[in-house]
Structure 1
Amino acid sequence: MCRRFRELAAHPTVLSRAAAAAVALRAGVWSDAAHRFLRRCAAAGNLHACYFLGMVRFYCLGSRASGVALLARAAAGGHAAALYALAVVRFNGSGGGKADKDPHAGVALCARAAWLGHVPALRELGHCLQDGNGARRDAAAGRHLLLHAAARELAAVSSARRRGRAGEDDDGAAASRFMVEWWALTSAEKPATAAGEGGSCGAGEEDAEELRLCSHARCGRRETRRHEFRRCSVCGSANYCSRACQALDWKRAHRGQCGAARWLAAGNAY
């Protein structure tokens, strides 16, 4: 009976219907077996697995082409977080050069993800309209979208609290949590790697010392080339993969950390 259950659990039909929580692995338990499991789920057509593995491959394992292909597969199936992930890639020209930036494509992907109810995409779209990035500038429409995103986020948090959950249990949050943990483990393993012992975490074409993480603590994205992410225009020490991450981090942390902002707030401006 147990053997039969194991066979059924590995059946493509079962793998294709695995819930997002089933494929939301933690970086601390990453292994070849975990990678194989995600590959099998993705091959079976599981959109959650396509998205999660796509993010891991693109940002953590350095497999840009296969990562984008998996994200595109999930996006084609209407996976909102994958659409937004591809939008961030197009905004930054990730995996390529500055000439590969395509803000118009990024806005189109954000609009599709926002229409599907993805709050980060809605927030990013609002900033794009406010800034005129990839779309005709419309500050009023941008503010309206940002207010709508804030209301949606507040409603989601309230609903999660009523259910006794933390509030960020969707695919996007799970992938970001994995990446944050992955780079923390990579940082911890640097001494061993430098000593020639090797390391299981981290990959890429450039030295990790030269590539910066998004300063939003809950994001986890890392640059794919030097100076890819935008910097805080006030202090220049914080880096962001998107305007949405920049705005969120300003509210949650950077407002109190930005040295120049504190200096201005103290009334020391000329």
Structure 2
Amino acid sequence: MKVINKKKSRTNNNNNGGFVNGGGDGNKRSLLSSENDKTDFVYTCFDKVVPCRKRAKISPKFSAGGLDFFDALPDDLVVSILCKLSSTASCPADFVNVLITCKRLNGLGLNSMVLSKASPKTFAIKAKNWSESAHRFLKSCSDAGNVEACYTLGMIRFYCLQNRGSGASLMAKAAINSHAQALYSLAVIQFNGSGGSKSDKDLRAGVALCARAAFLGHVDALRELGHCLQDGYGVRQNVAEGRRFLVQANARELAAALTCSTASGSTYWVPSSSPQPTGSRHVASTTVGCPLLSDFGCNVPAPEAHPANHFLSDWFTGRTGDSPGVGLRLCSHAGCGRPETRAGLEVEA
């Protein structure tokens, strides 16, 4: 086959040419001219003019020893990418590995906008890895307005570091921003008089906080509010309304279990061997799952605990053994981790 040069026509029999449209009979494939031929176009057997691909020229400023491609990216674009990364991080390492890559990424990664969007799993620090640098990181995120960081650091300070005032203040900051977990945690503190004596309990405040968390869809708050209404605990007794909240909590719990079981293909509920009595309140759970329609003795797999609760559990079981302190006992619920006094009717969070 002939390959025609635009400048002059000649038969090209050079064996150094390559084949395109590979496969089949060699007579049906086009021959490219050799590298020595400075042709701009080649004619194929289909009578189409195909331009030859030329090697891209690199600007001298990007050559060896010049400016790096990453350095040419504007800060706004890099910050936008880091915001997306921090908001979708599945563990602290996903974000920390970026910070230690280079000086520029470290500086932009600690931008207040990036820290404010960090996901809860970014703060899933293990108790054994707790350090001043981890404390500073959580503090920076909370100062940037990250609600999850406020709640997580508040729980750690209140329960683990025994800094009650600062911890409660951080949880209140998260609660003001309609953080359901923070609202419920403050309710537990009010119910139990955590960090103080029995006289520090404020049942009415606990019910009010619980109601706000329940309004935001917090399942434990819904159930707790239902028990309070049924028993007249901190609020005027209303058995029918309390029962309605309990049914709503069970329905939400079942919906969450069904969603998880559909994704994993596992069983979403199992009957309990020892049904709970209908008149009981704040019964300590000894099962692995969480109570579903507890009056009928059913259980569903426990939902994933918040990183703050994981930290509390690891902190007190790993550093203090079985006893979290004098007069304190860890909550029997596997996903709680709070150390509380158990002298009276306490809330099993």
Question: Partner of 2:310 in structure 1?
Answer: 177
Q: Is the contact between residue 55 and residue 175 of structure 1 (CA under 8 Å) also seen in structure 2?
A: yes
The root-mean-square deviation of aligned C-alpha atoms, in Å, is 2.3
Could you say if the C-alpha distance between residues 154 and 42 of structure 1 is closer, same or farther in structure 2, counting changes exceeding 3 Å? Answer: same
Q: How big is the shift at 1:216? A: 2.1
Q: Is the contact between residue 328 and residue 342 of structure 2 (CA under 8 Å) also seen in structure 1?
A: no
The equivalences for 1:217-256 within 5 A come to 217-223=334-340, 228-230=341-343, 241-242=346-347, 245=349
Q: How big is the shift at 1:164? A: 4.5
The equivalences for 1:152-231 within 5 A come to 152-164=252-264, 168-169=303-304, 173-188=306-321, 208-223=325-340, 228-230=341-343
Question: Partner of 1:83 in structure 2?
Answer: 183
- Which range moves more in the overlay, 155-164 or 133-142? 155-164
Q: How far apart, CA to CA, are the structure 2 residues paired with 1:138 and 1:188?
A: 42
Q: How big is the shift at 1:129? A: 0.5
Q: How far apart, CA to CA, are the structure 2 residues paired with 1:189 and 1:144?
A: 38
Q: Is the contact between residue 160 and residue 167 of structure 1 (CA under 8 Å) also seen in structure 2?
A: no
Could you say if the C-alpha distance between residues 83 and 186 of structure 1 is closer, same or farther in structure 2, counting changes exceeding 3 Å? Answer: same
Residue among 167, 180, 198 paired with 1:98: 198
Q: Is the contact between residue 119 and residue 153 of structure 1 (CA under 8 Å) also seen in structure 2?
A: yes
Q: How far apart, CA to CA, are the structure 1 residues paired with 2:179 and 2:158?
A: 17
Q: How big is the shift at 1:136? A: 0.8
Q: How far apart, CA to CA, are the structure 2 residues paired with 1:167 and 1:210?
A: 28
Letter in 2 for 1:179: L
Indicate the SS of the match to 1:210.
coil
Q: How far apart, CA to CA, are the structure 2 residues paired with 1:14 and 1:241?
A: 39
Q: Is the contact between residue 126 and residue 145 of structure 1 (CA under 8 Å) also seen in structure 2?
A: yes
| TM-score relative to the length of structure 1 | 0.73
Work out the number of aligned pairs and report it.
214
Q: Is the contact between residue 221 and residue 241 of structure 1 (CA under 8 Å) also seen in structure 2?
A: no
Q: How big is the shift at 1:137? A: 0.7
Q: How far apart, CA to CA, are the structure 2 residues paired with 1:74 and 1:88?
A: 15
Q: How big is the shift at 1:8? A: 1.4
Question: Partner of 1:124 in structure 2?
Answer: 224
Q: Which protein is bigger by CA-based radius of gyration? A: 2
Residue among 96, 106, 109 paired with 2:209: 109
Q: How far apart, CA to CA, are the structure 1 residues paired with 2:322 and 2:199?
A: 34
Could you say if the C-alpha distance between residues 175 and 135 of structure 1 is closer, same or farther in structure 2, counting changes exceeding 3 Å? Answer: same
Q: How big is the shift at 1:218? A: 2.2
Structure with the bigger RCO (C-alpha within 8 Å, sep 6+) is 1
| TM-score relative to the length of structure 2 | 0.57
1:47-86 alpha-carbon deviations (Å, 9 max, x no partner): 0000011111111111100000000000001101000000
Percent identical pairs in the alignment equals: 51
Q: How big is the shift at 1:91? A: 0.9
Letter in 1 for 2:331: C
Identify unmatched segments of 5+ residues in structure 1: 191-201, 203-207, 232-239, 246-270
- Which range moves more in the overlay, 176-185 or 70-79? 176-185
- Which range moves more in the overlay, 95-104 or 66-75? 95-104
Q: How big is the shift at 1:187? A: 2.8
Letter in 2 for 1:17: K
Question: Partner of 1:61 in structure 2?
Answer: 161
Q: How big is the shift at 1:168? A: 3.0
Letter in 2 for 1:229: R
Letter in 2 for 1:220: G
Structure whose residues are more often helix by fraction: 1
Could you say if the C-alpha distance between residues 189 and 152 of structure 1 is closer, same or farther in structure 2, counting changes exceeding 3 Å? Answer: closer
Q: Is the contact between residue 214 and residue 241 of structure 1 (CA under 8 Å) also seen in structure 2?
A: no
